[in-house]
Chains A and B, each alone.
Chain A
């Protein structure tokens, strides 16, 4: 079945450091890929998405590129802030399969001053 694998957390960085959170996927069809973010005590917010190979999703300084050849969708940000501290989830959905989301386990990011 479809699955998403994310790097284990927590990831602890100093403010202004470079962030990479790895995500790889296995899918039977052609998935759309997403990054969602969950701040403490809140629901999930869509951070960015990509719907086909080589698409780059970007939002709030975060970027991720849909790499079909490596089945990856790594999340990057050039300079993190304390306010980026949250749990980040990589997810996929298959069009025609009801578009249900299959999530990775989540990666907690802690950014310190």
Chain B
């Protein structure tokens, strides 16, 4: 158990809809990262937050947004969903003193 939790575990929705994925980092970790894992794109970095502030952006679509709240949990919002958004979405957290990131179990999103 990495100490990072993600909900829900599975999400099935229709094209055009909007969903919210939730992540709670390990206790004390200020940095949260979101990654997308798909068959065609592999594992890709989406966005990073540090103590409530956006720190880095990767290949994140404009239809996607994220935020980190004062209690340090983070949410990834995906809107106007398309079939191609079907993927595993992972959250990871990192302690400021360490290089490594610890991953949650992921949310599997299926867009029908």
Contact = CB atoms under 8 A, between A and B. Distances in A.
Interface string A16-48: 000000000000000010101000001111100
Given A98-B48, A100-B48, A32 B105 contact: no
B45 interface: yes
A98 B90 CA distance: 17
Interface in B35-50: 35, 42-45, 48
Contact of B90 (A32, A43, A49, A104): A43
Contact of A46 (B45, B90, B100): B100
A96 B102 CA distance: 18
A98 B42 contact: no
B106 A100 contact: no
B99 A103 contact: no
A95 B48 contact: no
Contacts of B35: 101
Contacts of B102: 46
Interface string B30-73: 01010100000011110010000001101000000000000000
A97 B55 CA distance: 9
Contacts of A103: 42-44
B15 to A, nearest CB: 26
B2 A101 contact: no
Given A32-B99, A43-B103, A49-B100, A99 B43 contact: no
17 contacts: A32-B99, A46-B100, A46-B102, A51-B99, A89-B43, A95-B99, A97-B56, A98-B55, A99-B48, A99-B101, A100-B45, A100-B56, A100-B58, A101-B43, A101-B45, A103-B42, A103-B43
Interface of A: 32, 34, 36, 42-46, 49, 51, 89, 93, 95, 97-106
Given A99-B31, A101-B101, 8 more contacts: A43-B90, A43-B103, A44-B90, A98-B48, A98-B56, A99-B94, A99-B101, A104-B42
